Amino acid sequence: MKPRRGYRRGYPVAILAGLEDGRAVLWKVFSNVVKPEKTIFLDGTRNDQKAVYNFHEAIVNALRPTLKEGVRSILLASPARTNHAQRFINHIRGHHAWLVQGPNKAIFSEANGPAGTLSEVTALTRTPAFRRLISETTSEETEDLVDMLEKYLNASNQNTTVLYSLEEIEDLVLGQLKLGKPKPEHLMLTDKYLSNNREKNRIHRLMQIAANRNVKTRIVDAESPAGLRLAQLGGVVCFARRE
């Protein structure tokens, strides 16, 4: 009997939050599959402003680990004839402006339909409208990252550095951080660069250590505008800043 091959989930693409009357179910969207992440329950009713405030704060806190990894595309799904997604976005704008402003902002989009169970998520993700929405959302997010990259490339000071070779990036990310040495902030590569590379384990190790050291890591669709720009630079880049 042949050993069963493990299912490859692919790389992280976005966060899907199914917002319901009494709970929020968070899912991590990978390129090949969607996995449950966490469920947050509303301690009270939707008419209780304090309960809703605490509920929204708990959702933000649950999003932080994935945002810290570098995934900043967030899809909010809620049942028809509800305003759960809009109320959450209003909460973000009022209490967490850092999430919707600046170079590291997240991109929020609203999806129509429930996403509280695996069957609901499966049905939702199979619709052309959802696939189009996730493509538009992730494209906007990665274009923001490329805009940041261009600023690093065009910077006239010595405080920013952009590396293009795997060897240089490894030396920076895996090496010991010293005073005056650039600190890596973002690691970006295309899915094509990863799939075509013969040393995938080496790249996965680099990405894992980068994530452990709080370097925002992002795999980008090679056919997207951001991916095409990265391909011009070799398919992988790391930009760093001196403290």
- Per-residue pLDDT at 33 exceeds 60: yes
Residue 231: which of 171, 190, 198, 201 has the closest Cα?
A: 190
* Measured CA angle at 210 (ends 198, 173), to 5 deg: 85
Distance CA 181, CA 172 (A): 9
From residue 126, how far is each of 133, 162, 202, 223 by CA, in Å? 12, 38, 33, 21
Q: What is the mean pLDDT of the chain?
A: 89
Q: Which helix (DSSP H) or strand (DSSP E) does residue 110 occupy? A: strand 107-112
- Average pLDDT of span 29-34: 91
176: tokens are 């010991």
Structural domains present in the chain: 12-139 (3.30.420.60), 155-241 (3.30.1330.30)
Which DSSP state fits 7? Answer: P
pTM of the full structure? 0.81
- Is 25:36 a contact under the CB 8 Å cutoff? yes
Measured CA to CA, the distance from residue 133 to residue 117 in angstroms comes to 20
Tell me the average pLDDT across 114-118.
95
Give the per-residue pLDDT at 226.
Answer: 87
User: Distance between CA atoms of 106 and 144, rounded to whole angstroms?
Assistant: 10
Give the separation between CA 232 and CA 211, rounded to whole angstroms. Answer: 25
Residue 84: pLDDT band (50, 70, 90) is very high
Helices 225-232 and 128-154 meet at what angle, rounded to 10? 40
Q: At what angle do helices 84-95 and 49-69 cross, to 10 degrees?
A: 70
Mean of pLDDT values over 163-191? 87
Q: Kindly give the residue spans of alpha helices, DSSP state H, lying in the chain.
A: 49-69, 84-95, 118-125, 128-154, 166-174, 191-196, 200-212, 225-232
Distance of alpha carbon 216 from alpha carbon 57, whole angstroms? 23
Helix (H, G, I), strand (E, B) or coil at 230: helix
pLDDT of 5 higher than 70: no
- For the stretch 133-174, pLDDT in tens is 998 898 888 888 888 888 888 876 678 889 999 999 999 999
